[in-house]
Chain A
Amino acid sequence: MKTIQLPIDEKTIKTLKAGEMALLSGKLITGRDQAHLRFTEALNKHKKLPVAIKGQTIYYVGPTPAKSGEVIGSCGPTTSRRMDAFSPLLIKNGLKTMIGKGGRSKEVIKAIKKHKGVYFITIGGAGAYLAKRVKSARIIAYPELGPEAVSELEIRDFPVITAIDSRGKSIF
């Protein structure tokens, strides 16, 4: 199976085809509903984001708390469609790679195609399995959001399927 290092450069993104399986390794940030709301508010007010998103990879997840000795709790993807209203602005501002589950809107597909990004799905509901593929985790923004805080994760051999490629082709 194809292995891909994060962050993924545009040259590599252009080689990815909808439907292909791959294993991702490297660092990414996490963010879901509340973080997207805050990022959008900041961008609209021309304020600095707490994390750099240019070239970045984001994983839509809100994990369970880690037990002592664990890097992270159960950490499968949350439903990407809830972030659809916010994604095009983030993609326009440099976000390259998104990981979640389920389909995306026409606007998101359009933004991915225009700015040469990629959307992967990973295995929804396989939270324990995916937890074993996270090597480190630390909160980097909005700790008060609890499970919705923005974290930096290092993943290794994290299984994904290219769901929407840079040509705008979708598996759904």
Chain B
Amino acid sequence: MINSKTISRTVKDLCIEANLKLRPDVVKALKSSLRKETSSKGRNLLSILLENCSIAKNERIPLCQDTGMTVVFADVGQDARIQGDLTSAINKGVAAGYKQGFLRKSIVADPLIRKNTETNTPAMIYYDIVPGKKLKLTVLPKGFGSENKSKLYMLNPTAGYDAVVNSILKAVKEAGPDACPPYVVGVGIGGDAAKACYLAKKALTKPVNFLSDKPHFRKMAKELLAKGNKLNIGPLGAGGNTTLLGVNILSMPTHIAGLPVAVNISCHSLRSAHKSL
């Protein structure tokens, strides 16, 4: 039996951990970029980002002041036994994490009236039913500078490989310097419009530059990384050959009349943390 107090405490800890400690694969990608960056201004900026990671971890100051809208992926085992209201437990955990972790409360209750909920809830929870008995919780604090650069392209079913690549590059070009490059680009291809967007965001929970099990998407990710880094947007838009840290592509079946391509951009400090209960 997985009880709601444990769920709340886990979510609280994940919120804080994700905001203070940068994911090891992202740190690795930043260090690798620093070695390859040819612009001295770019190297300077990447070094400061790595120094920021140390300060955040050691002094327990959030990596970024936008501690995000709390996206939670809850993979619920088909045979998991959960005591209490799962949604309520997750939201209680987020509220506790954002209070005790001195994180910023960035959620407004209504998109037009805009009164702050002061708890950073509700979390954006995506439930999935998976085999087994466990409950896997992945917290992804998503900053809105990057979220605001999200794109959905409903391509023609005959559009083809190059059109998909060009759409994704277009999204990166339109983000330009504004979403704190170098970016990790989450891509969702297929599904319906909503699933494509969901996949694009879920892709950000995977390790940077993880390999798709489909050879054409492995090729596409590599090609996008190379082309993206030729755009000369550079770290924080100040120029250089590090515009992208990685491209993560997830795909699923889609309709004969469509080819949805969704892009969800993450800034250089892609934050997520997970635990299975």
**A interface residues (Cβ-Cβ under 8 A, vs B):** 19, 21, 61-67, 70, 73-76, 78-79, 81, 101-103, 121, 123-129, 131-132, 146-147, 159, 161, 171-172
Q: Which of B105, B118, B177 has the most CB of A within 10 A?
A: B177
A147 and B106 contact, CB distance less than 8 A:
yes
Does B252 make an interface contact (CB < 8 A)?
no
Give the residues from 89 to 113 in chain B that come closer than 8 angstroms, CB to CB, to chain A.
Answer: 102-106
A73-B65, A79-B145 in contact; A62/B104 too (CB < 8 A)? yes
A147 and B105 contact, CB distance less than 8 A:
yes
Give the residues from 52 to 92 in chain B that come closer than 8 angstroms, CB to CB, to chain A.
Answer: 52, 55-56, 59-67
A61 and chain B: residue at smallest CB distance: B65
Q: Which of B51, B65, B104 has the most CB of A within 10 A?
A: B65
Known: A74-B64, A127-B63, A129-B52. 5 other contacts (CB 8 A): A64-B102, A65-B102, A79-B178, A129-B51, A146-B105
CB distance from A136 to the nearest CB of B (A): 17
B269 and A125 contact, CB distance less than 8 A:
yes
A74 and B148 contact, CB distance less than 8 A:
no
Task: Chain B residues near A171: list those with CB within 8 A.
Answer: 237-239
Stretch touching chain A among B6-14, B40-48, B158-166 = B40-48
Q: List 21 A-B contacts (CB under 8 A).
A: A62-B66, A62-B106, A66-B102, A70-B61, A74-B63, A101-B177, A101-B236, A123-B45, A123-B48, A124-B64, A124-B267, A125-B267, A126-B51, A127-B61, A127-B63, A128-B56, A129-B55, A146-B118, A161-B41, A161-B238, A172-B237
Give the residues from 146 to 195 in chain B that come closer than 8 angstroms, CB to CB, to chain A.
Answer: 148, 176-180
A67→B20 CA distance, assembly (Å): 14
Task: Chain A residues near B116: list those with CB within 8 A.
Answer: 146
Task: Chain A residues near B118: list those with CB within 8 A.
Answer: 146
Does B201 make an interface contact (CB < 8 A)?
no
CB distance from B107 to the nearest CB of A (A): 11
A64 and B176 contact, CB distance less than 8 A:
no
A132→B103 CA distance, assembly (Å): 17
CB distance from A119 to the nearest CB of B (A): 12
B56 and chain A: residue at smallest CB distance: A128
Task: Chain A residues near B52: list those with CB within 8 A.
Answer: 123, 125-129
Does B2 make an interface contact (CB < 8 A)?
no
A10→B62 CA distance, assembly (Å): 36
Query: Which one of B62, B106, B148, B177 contacts A127 once the chains associate, using CB atoms below 8 Å?
Result: B62
**Which 3 pairs from chain A and chain B are nearest by CB?**
A102-B178, A124-B180, A128-B61
Task: Chain B residues near A76: list those with CB within 8 A.
Answer: 64-66
A78→B60 CA distance, assembly (Å): 21
Task: Chain A residues near B269: list those with CB within 8 A.
Answer: 125
Does B49 make an interface contact (CB < 8 A)?
yes
A64-B67, A103-B176, A147-B104 in contact; A74/B62 too (CB < 8 A)? yes
CB distance from A120 to the nearest CB of B (A): 12
Query: Which one of B51, B177, B268 contacts A172 once the chains associate, using CB atoms below 8 Å?
Result: B177
CB distance from A157 to the nearest CB of B (A): 12
A103 and B178 contact, CB distance less than 8 A:
yes
B63 and A125 contact, CB distance less than 8 A:
yes
Query: Which one of B66, B177, B239 contacts A102 once the chains associate, using CB atoms below 8 Å?
Result: B177
Query: Which one of A21, A64, A70 contacts B103 once the chains associate, using CB atoms below 8 Å?
Result: A64
**A-contact bits for B97-139, CB 8 A (1 contact / 0 none):** 0000011111000000000101000000000000000000000
Task: Chain B residues near A78: list those with CB within 8 A.
Answer: 65-66, 145
B49 and A123 contact, CB distance less than 8 A:
yes
